[in-house]
Structure 1
Amino acid sequence: MKLEPNGNAEYLVTLLKNIIEMIPDAVMVVDEEGRCILVNQAYEAISGLSAGDVLGKPATIDIAEKESILIKSLRERVAIENVLRRVGPDRREMICSAKPIFIGGKLVGSVGVMHDISEIKRLGRELEHKSRMLRNLQSKYTVDDIIGKSEKILKAKEEAMAASTFSASVLLVGESGTGKELFAHAIHNLSRRAENPLVRVNCAAISKDLVESELFGYEGGAFTGSLKSGRQGLFQQADGGTLFLDEISELTLPVQAKLLRAVQEQEIIKVGGTIPIKVDVRLIAATNKDLEQEVKNGNFRPDLFYRINVVTIRIPPLRERKEDIPVLAEYILKRYNQKYGRGVQDISDKAMEILMAYDWPGNVRELENVISRAMINMRFNEKHLTPLHLNFPVYEAKAEAKDPGSGKITLEIAGKTLEQLKRELEKQVLNYYLKREKHKTHIAQKLGITRRSLYDKLKS
């Protein structure tokens, strides 16, 4: 008996059609040759194809790639479950299942059910946005978290504390990794806005096509894929508090123009909207570029530069405050002891010498990375971080200082004992090989000593 709307099967088809119309998911039924004979209204609504588009056509009519699971179910005579397919002209993502239909032991067709997951994904993105927004509203650091005793860092801290007493815009200038976000948190937490949100965003991390809607929000239906209800932007989320724009130089000139108006007038207009919305926001901007030069190059609006450059705080790179490295290293050591559940007590003098000799182009962030990786390299029972654990290009900086590449050894003999000269010679030889060999085993072999003996010499 064929499963088609005529003959003895007409009653069955009518019954089946009434049943599938009650199903909220998309349903398609095909005959034994894989031609579509039935779809429900949910299929038409979800796939974007009408019944007239698909009836009498092969089941492949609604997919642009891969095999139809209805056809596969027919061919293999087995049920197929939870397969991802893109269906219809809009290529909507659906989880599809299909099962062959047997009547009287004879294969007469198959039925497929398709569940639209595009809405689930959209809701997931919206949930992530809300979670990111919640994280953005939480200020984590205070001025006490700015570590250092050097003159330059103390001056920057004093400027930050002074800036916190009023609501003028602040521009934080510093290389990547110097701690600009730390300063933004500290200024916010010291200000009268401390009980209100601190919203932070990295301007370089947002797509240029989306940055305007992220900053100012949008009205429902403003663009393809937008929420029907619209969305608040970062300015509205920061209302009454502080908006921290990191890497502000990455904003395009059109967005800079709208940002200028928002800062100047304390009001925004959503994308797709016409009604101005008042906001009370204190702006802190940060950059690792020379904005004055960017203005001269035509990459940054001069009027916006003057508006955000009311208070400028320059955060020194680590190479200009090397006296802070020991106290920073101790702070990082304690922090990662807690994070990793370790009990590392200190950093050896020789390891500290290496850290002090390096110029740290990645600044405090790089120092933190080096120390945390060194702690991972340590055995669990080791309590002292030594040069052996660093295993990092800072070794090369130290070795290069002692050996410019010729392999020659220079010793100052006057006033030194034989034992001191032997130690100096050994140190230069070890530095020479550490610069050129990644594997300690190879170094030990070249020096004719055991690996254990090499470790002992590196620790001493």
Structure 2
Amino acid sequence: MPVKKLNKLTQAANTYKTILHAMEEWVVIVDHQTKIFFINRPYARFLGVKAEDLIGKKVTDVIENTRMHITVQTGKPERLSFQKILGSNMIANRFPIIEQGEVIGAVGTVMFHDTHEWKQINSHIKALLVEQDFKHQTRLAAEKLDTGANFHLTDIIGDSPIMKALSAKVTQVASGDVTVLVRGESGTGKELYAHAIHQLSDRAEYPFIKVNCAAIPENLLESELFGYEEGAFTGAKKGGKAGKFQLANGGTLFLDEIGDLPLLMQAKLLRVLQDREVESVGGTRPTPINIRLITATHRPLESLLESGEFREDLYYRINVVAIDLPPLRERRDDIAKLADFFLQKLSHRTGRRAPKLTAHALTAMLAYHWPGNIRELENVMEAAFYTSKDRKIGLSLLPSHFSQVAEKLSPNQTPLSLEQASSSSLKEQLSLAERNIIKAVLIECNNNRTKAAKQLGISKSTLYEKLDKHGLT
């Protein structure tokens, strides 16, 4: 009987081989023993092997998450079934091949190779995605309270020494009620650290309220922060409105871009922090508040003190513990990991396989000074993700200034691949990249070290330390 089954499969497959190889859909046929009898070339090409090399192998040893063997066992078809292969979410169909009441094999097809292809076509699949997303959100809601804080310390990517030390400091100060000032350039992730501090504190089950001081018009700031009573001004809502301080009671208030707070509001904020009570606009009676304050700024507050743009007494009130976030150029050994994180995030969102950075692209990224920090890196990866066609991100897919950076590097510098970036030789590779960058900038600045330090975004003393380290003195 097995020989008879095989002969029938052979006859059927030979008739359609040419057609099956020409199809864009991926096709695999297994016999009654779930061994691969036929696989078309497009499918084999995706798996990275030759079609003829797979003949006779168990399908479970070749195709990830396959259910072809189950189709043979049960004799039941499976339509529009999710299957994840090599990181891509695909839709597969599986049908038993039945001859005279007996299952002699099964045929499987992959019609949509990633969710990007079928999302816009199949309304049934869209419904499945919505249902899946609903279940995911329901599970997340059950796992944590909706306090407004969405990020934990574990969500912050980076295992360089400077980031490990930063995580240790955050963990240490989070448990107390001490006021924290988070400082760092734009795009370094200041808000994420505010979320993480709240999540680690005893106030984690209470509200986390955030305010961007630079985004609210000055004439609305007072009512936004302290609330207002009914009839306090024209257009005031009936019953009044609670301010951010009242909403944050018991929890954490995060004031982002505190350096942009107008002087008048600085004085009112100082009084609230000293008296631990807030009076709403149009109100006659102060309300006690119990909050933890976290502030953040990308502006140099010391310079604002000198120019009279920031109150000295408020500065000392908010700067009890300072957490200084490093710019990306000072944690270059995290770049590869961050880049991969953003690509995988986009892959999860779109259903497309995440492309890989080529050696030259990653080397140029390691050498670049990243003025926009992590936010800029995320934007660069997003643009490259959507413009990549062959699942690789080469130098040509990065903005033009990366090519200019690459030209400055030594021709003898070994390109760094993504796999190398996670290996033990990363420190040596980064050191070589740093030496080449400093050397190139010094040449460009005619050996003017003050100008070179400014272009590199580091202090002059740090530059001298690096010159000594790399033997460039």
The separation in 1 between residues aligned to 2:280 and 2:399, in whole angstroms, is 51
Say yes or no: does 1:189 pair with 2:199.
yes
The separation in 1 between residues aligned to 2:338 and 2:261, in whole angstroms, is 33
SS for the counterpart of 1:189 is helix
Q: Does the 8 Å CA contact 1:173/1:312 hold for their aligned counterparts?
A: yes
Q: 2:362 aligns with which of 332, 348, 352?
A: 352
Q: 1:139 aligns with which of 133, 149, 164?
A: 149
- Cα deviation 1:145-188 (Å, max 9, x = unaligned): 11112222222211111111101110000000000001001000
SS for the counterpart of 1:312 is strand
Q: 1:247 aligns with which of 244, 257, 260?
A: 257
Q: What is the total number of aligned residue pairs between the two structures? A: 269
Deviation at 1:401, TM superposition (A): 4.8
Say yes or no: does 1:321 pair with 2:331.
yes
Say yes or no: does 1:165 pair with 2:175.
yes
Q: 2:184 aligns with which of 155, 160, 174?
A: 174
Say yes or no: does 1:385 pair with 2:393.
yes
1:1-400 aligned within 5 A: 137-379=147-389, 382-400=390-408
The separation in 2 between residues aligned to 1:376 and 1:152, in whole angstroms, is 32
Deviation at 1:397, TM superposition (A): 2.3
Q: What's the % identity of the aligned pairs?
A: 46
The separation in 1 between residues aligned to 2:370 and 2:183, in whole angstroms, is 17
Q: Does the 8 Å CA contact 1:178/1:315 hold for their aligned counterparts?
A: yes
State the AA in 1 paired with 2:158.
G
Q: For residues 136 and 286 of structure 1, do their structure 2 counterparts lie closer, same or farther at Cα, with a shift above 3 Å needed?
A: farther
SS for the counterpart of 1:204 is coil
Deviation at 1:243, TM superposition (A): 0.5
The separation in 2 between residues aligned to 1:250 and 1:301, in whole angstroms, is 12
Q: Does the 8 Å CA contact 2:214/2:257 hold for their aligned counterparts?
A: yes
SS for the counterpart of 2:366 is helix
The separation in 1 between residues aligned to 2:281 and 2:392, in whole angstroms, is 57
5+ residue gaps, structure 2: 1-144, 414-473
The separation in 2 between residues aligned to 1:136 and 1:319, in whole angstroms, is 35
The separation in 2 between residues aligned to 1:367 and 1:194, in whole angstroms, is 30
Q: Does the 8 Å CA contact 2:208/2:254 hold for their aligned counterparts?
A: yes
The separation in 1 between residues aligned to 2:273 and 2:146, in whole angstroms, is 20
The separation in 2 between residues aligned to 1:280 and 1:392, in whole angstroms, is 51
Deviation at 1:236, TM superposition (A): 0.6
The separation in 1 between residues aligned to 2:296 and 2:376, in whole angstroms, is 19
The separation in 2 between residues aligned to 1:173 and 1:211, in whole angstroms, is 22
Q: Does the 8 Å CA contact 2:355/2:385 hold for their aligned counterparts?
A: no
Q: For residues 293 and 215 of structure 1, do their structure 2 counterparts lie closer, same or farther at Cα, with a shift above 3 Å needed?
A: same
Match of 2:77 in 1: none
1:396-411 aligned within 5 A: 396-401=404-409
State the AA in 1 paired with 2:340.
E
Match of 1:117 in 2: none
TM-score, reference length from structure 2: 0.55
The separation in 1 between residues aligned to 2:163 and 2:305, in whole angstroms, is 27
The separation in 2 between residues aligned to 1:411 and 1:401, in whole angstroms, is 8
The separation in 2 between residues aligned to 1:392 and 1:212, in whole angstroms, is 45
State the AA in 2 paired with 1:333.
L
- Cα deviation 1:336-366 (Å, max 9, x = unaligned): 1112222024222111011111100000000
State the AA in 2 paired with 1:183.
Y
SS for the counterpart of 1:393 is helix
The separation in 2 between residues aligned to 1:211 and 1:411, in whole angstroms, is 56
Deviation at 1:411, TM superposition (A): 9.0
State the AA in 2 paired with 1:283.
L
State the AA in 2 paired with 1:325.
I
The separation in 1 between residues aligned to 2:409 and 2:363, in whole angstroms, is 12
Deviation at 1:191, TM superposition (A): 0.4
Q: Does the 8 Å CA contact 1:136/1:199 hold for their aligned counterparts?
A: no
State the AA in 1 paired with 2:307.
N
The separation in 2 between residues aligned to 1:233 and 1:395, in whole angstroms, is 49
SS for the counterpart of 1:283 is strand
The separation in 2 between residues aligned to 1:396 and 1:340, in whole angstroms, is 31
- Cα deviation 1:203-237 (Å, max 9, x = unaligned): 10000110111000011111222113110000011
The separation in 2 between residues aligned to 1:373 and 1:137, in whole angstroms, is 33
The separation in 2 between residues aligned to 1:152 and 1:247, in whole angstroms, is 24
5+ residue gaps, structure 1: 1-134, 403-409, 413-460
Q: Does the 8 Å CA contact 1:332/1:371 hold for their aligned counterparts?
A: yes
TM-score, reference length from structure 1: 0.56
- Cα deviation 1:15-48 (Å, max 9, x = unaligned): xxxxxxxxxxxxxxxxxxxxxxxxxxxxxxxxxx
The separation in 2 between residues aligned to 1:136 and 1:250, in whole angstroms, is 29
The separation in 2 between residues aligned to 1:242 and 1:411, in whole angstroms, is 52
SS for the counterpart of 2:181 is strand
SS for the counterpart of 2:282 is coil
State the AA in 2 paired with 1:348.
T
Deviates more, 1:186-195 or 1:342-351: 342-351
- Cα deviation 1:411-458 (Å, max 9, x = unaligned): 99xxxxxxxxxxxxxxxxxxxxxxxxxxxxxxxxxxxxxxxxxxxxxx
Q: Does the 8 Å CA contact 2:257/2:295 hold for their aligned counterparts?
A: yes
The separation in 2 between residues aligned to 1:137 and 1:398, in whole angstroms, is 45
The separation in 2 between residues aligned to 1:136 and 1:258, in whole angstroms, is 30
